[in-house]
């Protein structure tokens, strides 16, 4: 089995500051967290940007630039920037990072879905910032847009800038979307994909759901003809699906973007803690951890 690539999703755009005091927000915090996650075994840092004062997701290229430069100063971890951005951002805002910074990798969301964060709002007693409640509740009437027009545009942009797309698959239908882009030669093999499991609006996060995604991928793209990673959104799904994925030879993502707990009811204090937990699980299951350079080889990065 190839070594395990651990990705750390440092801050995202779906966790709000009122959920946890440990959410990295400033470029410095995001960079320090990325370097610490690398020291704990992460080979990839998946990066979003936030407004330093309010913690709100932003598409600001200046903030992305500071984050990317600070990370590069501290670590040779692979930088994987989001093209998913945050709720309400336009496709152009979301994809601008690709042409500007030409990161080694970037996320590529493989279809439109409802993206329901509104149930989180009900669990927060006191909001730190005025934007948070509206942001969460607005997702009851939000479609995370990724039409075929958008998919072809994002694909072409990544290809033009030699950025390796990480295909974020929120449901089984999106596996067929990727097969279409492959057939139309927008996408080039070998694909690298990530099953995003447990988003309200996408596929669930049970072991059965994961087996179904994997078996459908084998049927569509050919067994062992692609690399794959898994996100279990929330606790304990992040670690349950990670354990199953580690046994199956896939790669895993952890991080405060997707999960804020290190154990039942206990907030994680950092991304590094989440990485260390999944590294412990991997070690117990005899799966070795890939360094950033080993991950570059596995993923065929430039």
Residues forming the site for ligand KMH (CB under 6 A): 9, 12, 14, 82-84, 107, 109, 168, 196, 199, 233, 257-258
- Shortest distance in whole angstroms from residue 195 CB to ligand KMH: 11
Helix axes 172-183, 207-221, angle to 10 degrees: 20
Alpha-carbon separation of residue 203 from 31, 33, 37, 198, 216 (angstroms): 31, 29, 28, 6, 13
Give backbone dihedrals phi and psi of 37, rounded to 5 degrees, phi first: -65, -40
Choices 7-15, 36-44, 137-145, 197-205 (CB under 5 A): range interacting with Zn ion: 7-15
Residues 172, 175, 177, 180: is their CA dihedral positive or negative?
A: negative
Looking at the Cβ atoms of 204 and 283, the one nearer to ligand KMH is: 204
Q: Which of residues 94-153 bind Zn ion (CB under 5 A)?
A: none
**Binding positions for Zn ion, 66-95, rule CB under 5 A:** 82
Nearer to Zn ion, 7 or 245 (CB): 7
Task: At 72, list the tokens.
Answer: 């590069």
At closest approach, how far in Å is the CB of 15 from ligand KMH?
Answer: 9
Q: Residue 166: which of ligand KMH, Zn ion, none does it interact with, CB under 5 to 8 A by kind?
A: none
* Contact between 190 and 227 (Cβ < 8 Å): yes
Is beta strand 227-232 parallel, antiparallel or unpaired with respect to 143-144? unpaired
**Residue number closest to ligand KMH, CB atom:** 84
Contact segment (CB under 5 A) with Zn ion among 8-16, 32-40, 188-196, 246-254 equals: 8-16
Q: What's the closest the beta carbon of residue 69 comes to ligand KMH, in angstroms? A: 20
143 vs 266, beta carbon nearer Zn ion: 143
| 7 counts as binding Zn ion under rule CB under 5 A | no
Q: What's the closest the beta carbon of residue 168 comes to ligand KMH, in angstroms?
A: 5
- CA distances 25 to 12, 57, 88, 107, 287, Å, are 10, 9, 19, 20, 32
E strand or H helix at 215: helix 207-221
| Distance in Å, CB of 235 to Zn ion, minimum | 18
Tokens linked to 13: 């755009």
Look up tokens 């545009």; give the residue.
153
Name the residue nearer to Zn ion (CB basis): 34 or 82: 82
Q: Tell me the chain's radius of gyration from C-alpha atoms.
A: 17
Confirm if 107 and 115 have CB atoms less than 8 A apart: no
- Looking up tokens 């042409």 gives 99
Alpha-carbon gap, residue 213 to 253, rounded angstroms: 16
Residue 168's binding partner among ligand KMH, Zn ion, none (Cβ under 5 to 8 angstroms by kind) is ligand KMH
Q: Cβ of residue 199: shortest distance to ligand KMH, in angstroms?
A: 5
The smaller minimum CB distance to ligand KMH, of residues 12 and 24, is found at: 12
**Which contiguous run of DSSP H or E holds residue 46?**
strand 44-47
> What is the smallest separation between the CB atom of 189 and ligand KMH, expressed in angstroms?
21
Nearest to Zn ion of 234, 249 (CB atom)? 234
- Which helix (H) or strand (E) segment holds residue 156: the answer is helix 148-160
Q: At closest approach, how far in Å is the CB of 57 from ligand KMH?
A: 10
Does position 194 bind Zn ion by CB under 5 A? no
Cβ closer to Zn ion: 80 or 245?
80
Residues that bind Zn ion (CB under 5 A): 12, 82
């Amino acid at each position: 089995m190839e070594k395990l690539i651990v990705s750390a999703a440092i801050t995202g755009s779906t966790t709000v500051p009122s959920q946890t005091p440990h959410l990295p927000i400033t470029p410095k915090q995001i960079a320090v967290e990325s370097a610490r996650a690398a020291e704990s075994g992460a080979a990839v840092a998946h990066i979003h940007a936030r407004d330093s004062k309010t913690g709100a997701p932003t598409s600001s290229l200046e903030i992305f630039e500071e984050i990317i430069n600070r990370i590069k100063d501290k670590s040779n971890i692979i930088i994987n920037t989001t093209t998913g951005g945050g709720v309400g951002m336009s496709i152009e805002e979301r994809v601008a990072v690709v042409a500007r910074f030409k990161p080694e990798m970037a996320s590529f969301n493989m279809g439109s879905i409802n993206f329901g964060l509104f149930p989180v709002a009900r669990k927060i007693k006191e909001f730190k910032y005025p934007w948070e409640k509206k942001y969460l509740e607005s997702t009851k009437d939000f479609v995370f847009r990724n039409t075929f027009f958008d998919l072809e545009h994002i694909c072409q942009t990544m290809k033009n800038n030699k950025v390796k797309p990480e295909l974020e698959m929120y449901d089984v239908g999106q596996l067929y979307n990727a097969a279409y882009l492959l057939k139309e030669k927008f996408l080039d093999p070998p694909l690298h994909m990530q099953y995003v499991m447990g988003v309200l609006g996408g596929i669930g996060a049970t072991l059965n759901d994961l087996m179904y995604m994997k078996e459908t991928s084998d049927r569509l793209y050919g067994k062992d003809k692609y690399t794959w990673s898994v996100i279990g959104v929330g606790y304990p799904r992040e670690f349950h699906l990670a354990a199953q994925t580690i046994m199956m030879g896939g790669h895993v993502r952890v991080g405060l973007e997707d999960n804020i707990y290190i154990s039942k009811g206990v907030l994680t204090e950092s991304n590094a803690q989440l990485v260390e937990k999944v590294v412990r699980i991997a070690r117990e299951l005899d799966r070795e951890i890939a360094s950033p350079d080993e991950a570059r080889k596995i993923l065929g990065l430039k």
